[in-house]
Amino acid sequence: MLGRMEGDYDVVVVGGGPAGLAAAIGARDAGATRVLVVDREDEAGGILLQCIHAGFGLHYFKEELTGPEYAERFVARALDRDIDVVGSAYVSGAGLDSDGTRRVRVMREGHGIRTVRSRAMVLAMGCRERTRGALHIPGTRPAGVLTAGLAQRFVNVMGLLPGRRVAILGSGDIGLIMARRLTLEGCEVVGVFELMPFSNGLTRNVVQCLGDFGIPLHLSTTVVEIHGQDRVDKITVAPVGADLAPDLSRCREVACDTLLLSIGLVPENELSQGLGVELDVVTQGPRVSSTLETSLPGVFACGNVLHVHDLCDYVTEEALLAGRFAGELAGGVKRPRDNIRVVPGDNVRYCVPHTLAPGREHTIYLRSERPLRPAAIRVGDLVRRKLGFVTPAEMITFRIKPDVLDRFHGEALRIDLLGEPAGPHLAGAEP
Amino acid sequence: MSPVTTTLTCIACPIGCALRLTHEGRDIVELAGATCDRGAKYAAEELIDPRRQLSTTVAIEGARSARLPVKVTRPVPRDRVLEAVAAIHRLRVRAPVRAGEVLLEALLGEEGLAVVATRSLGRVGP
């Protein structure tokens, strides 16, 4: 029920975005009767509410929905299952009781602080954007420098335009989508500048968001200075070499009043760290077992707080699973501990989960370090499969059948991506 | 009519093949660069009638947020996207509104092309 929080719970989910809602549903469907979702915004749905473009749900609903539609369907499904959802609330900590249940401290607007007991917890806080400080861009500190997602909220929810003449640093999907969005709202988008020699966004976004509107994508180029007294009036950009260092002898100035940053996302793990959850230095999310359980027993993690996904549908899939395992644990299901460590090998930036157990099917999510074509995945000496093309912008989902690990007798399973380095051939991209 | 060659980036999958398309009007004479069949299908659609899905927002009064997200019920011609957006932005909506509610019919004069709300927004305040 919306706004209800009373008694004790089987599962408490932190975060009411796509991950949290799906985790709650997964837990409920696995038999947990009392499930609570806590969200800090005044309504559930998370970042989906500002993602007004289509492209969600193709995997899960088999139809293409916008972000708000996807969110509304999930909120309705959660409420249909009698899941409690509270907004304007924070989970500010959780302690472990002697009987293994957790005491979760919930701080809620208008209600003060309350402690609820729960058998299991799911962390689903999502991620946030990297800001100018992460890159140390030199220059002045004028107004008009903001992250692409913040601009998205300004434009799509609050009805505020961040500027008129906009440059975008970083070719992540949010940046590409905002290039189109701002163009439709009457802004001039003067260009997208990407440090890497390839786009960090999905190809379809490069084509539909930039190509359609003649917005130039400058690969291997970065912003080296921001100018302006009170407001941005121009930026200096420079090409970068193979070592990614800017060549300052080939600088040029670009006039603009706004600089949007689309330079990556970081899982939001302050709560996890406060709880003492062990994090992976690469994903910056929790290290998890094959049941998506963190280093703290009974505390699970899923969605962008675990590792940054590129499609919402994958978040949903992972979160349903995390919720299911949390629900089963709350219902008393006990599983043997994982005994196989997953080790990222050649060309693999990271793998999630971090450990596996034989006898069950596993879904492994991994990301490559560079574009490869043709590419193949090698899992120890157990499996080798062709993948066609891989790029860091597209997460790889790989399923391991239950019987495969029965043939494995080691302690560490290494996963490699094999292939020739490749660049996506983007018509219209210029250096 | 003499053959014309254009280049397209295929968006059927993440590879993004660079397609070199030679065509006489609407007839594709030669297609190079595609690494699978989907490239041919994409090229044909893109050549004859390129269309795009379109989402934007409209002003809403009496709701918790200032903007109501909307979408078109089917893709609009690529060359008329800005025209379609201008027509949609003229809409003014008062809460409450339900997701899926039709706000404008026959966008661009096209039968069956409607603008619908993509979220429900209840009425707040007076």
Q: Read off the pLDDT band of A430 (50, 70, 90).
A: very low
Q: Is residue A1 part of a domain?
A: no
Same domain, A239 and A314: no
Mean pLDDT, residues A11-15: 98
Do A424 and B15 count as a contact with CB atoms less than 8 A apart?
yes
**B72-85: per-residue pLDDT in tens?**
999 999 999 999 99
**B3-30: per-residue pLDDT in tens?**
888 888 888 776 678 888 898 888 888 8
Q: What CATH code is carried by the domain that includes residue A311?
A: 3.50.50.60
Same domain, A100 and A32: yes
Do B14 and A68 count as a contact with CB atoms less than 8 A apart?
no
Q: Is residue A353 part of a domain?
A: yes
Same domain, A119 and A66: yes
Contacts of A254 (CB under 8 A, 6+ apart): A167, A190, A191, A234, A235, A236, A237
State the pLDDT at residue B14. 63
Q: Which residue of chain B comes nearest to A205, CA vs CA?
A: B11
Q: Is residue A294 part of a domain?
A: yes
Q: Which residues of chain A are within 8 Å of residue B7 when distances are taken between CB atoms?
A: 427
Question: Which residue, A125, A131, A149, A119, is CA-closest to A329?
Answer: A119
Q: Read off the pLDDT band of A431 (50, 70, 90).
A: very low
Same domain, A112 and A144: no
Single out the residue in A302, A330, A358 at which a domain terminates.
A330
User: Any idea which residue has 């998205």 for tokens?
Assistant: A152
Same domain, A155 and A235: yes
Q: Which residue of chain B comes nearest to A394, CA vs CA?
A: B14
Lowest mean pLDDT among A107-121, A165-179, A370-384: A370-384
Mean pLDDT, residues B66-75: 96
pLDDT averaged over chain A?
93
Same domain, A306 and A409: no
Q: Is residue A349 part of a domain?
A: yes
State the pLDDT at residue A79. 96
Same domain, A124 and A143: no
**A208-237: per-residue pLDDT in tens?**
999 999 999 999 999 999 999 999 999 999
State the pLDDT at residue A309. 94
Out of A205-209, A425-429, B111-115, the most confident range is B111-115
As a whole number of angstroms, the distance between CA A194 and CA A197 comes to: 7
Q: What CATH code is carried by the domain that includes residue A413?
A: 2.60.40
Mean pLDDT, residues A338-344: 95
Check whether A426 has a pLDDT greater than 60.
Answer: no
As a whole number of angstroms, the distance between CA B54 and CA B9 comes to: 20
Single out the residue in A233, A263, A293 at which a domain terminates.
A263
Do B119 and A53 count as a contact with CB atoms less than 8 A apart?
no
Same domain, A146 and A117: no
* Nearest CA distance, B26 vs chain A (angstrom): 20
State the pLDDT at residue A427. 41
Do A156 and B67 count as a contact with CB atoms less than 8 A apart?
yes
Mean pLDDT, residues A355-361: 91
Same domain, A313 and A227: no
Owning domain of residue A215: 131-263
Q: How many other C-beta atoms can be found within 10 angstroms of the C-beta atom of residue B115?
A: 22
Backbone angles phi, psi at B41, to 5 degrees: -65, -45
State the pLDDT at residue A290. 97
* Nearest CA distance, B10 vs chain A (angstrom): 8
pLDDT averaged over chain B?
91
Do B119 and A49 count as a contact with CB atoms less than 8 A apart?
yes
State the pLDDT at residue B1. 65
Q: Which residue of chain A comes nearest to B8, CA vs CA?
A: A427
Same domain, A282 and A312: yes
Do A373 and B15 count as a contact with CB atoms less than 8 A apart?
yes
Choose the closest CB to B65 out of A64, A158, A391. A158
Q: Which residues of chain B are within 8 Å of residue A184 when distances are taken between CB atoms?
A: 56, 81-82, 85
Mean pLDDT, residues A372-378: 91
State the pLDDT at residue A190. 98
Structural domains counted in chain A: 3
Strands laid side by side in the A234-239 sheet? A221-227, A234-239, A252-255
Positive or negative, the Cα torsion across A64, B40, B21, A217?
positive
Q: Is residue A2 part of a domain?
A: no
Check whether A204 has a pLDDT greater than 60.
Answer: yes
Cα separations in angstroms, A296 against A120, A278, A279, A286, A288:
10, 8, 11, 10, 9
Q: Is residue A164 part of a domain?
A: yes
Same domain, A124 and A38: yes
State the pLDDT at residue A423. 62
Q: Read off the pLDDT band of A58 (50, 70, 90).
A: confident
Single out the residue in A263, A285, A305 at which a domain terminates.
A263
State the pLDDT at residue A373. 84
Q: Is residue A149 part of a domain?
A: yes
Q: Is residue A428 part of a domain?
A: no
State the pLDDT at residue B4. 87
**B20-61: per-residue pLDDT in tens?**
889 888 888 888 888 888 888 888 888 889 999 999 999 999
Question: Which residue, A308, A297, A398, A365, is CA-closest to A19?
Answer: A308
Do B53 and A54 count as a contact with CB atoms less than 8 A apart?
yes
Same domain, A172 and A141: yes
Mean pLDDT, residues A349-362: 94
State the pLDDT at residue B9. 84
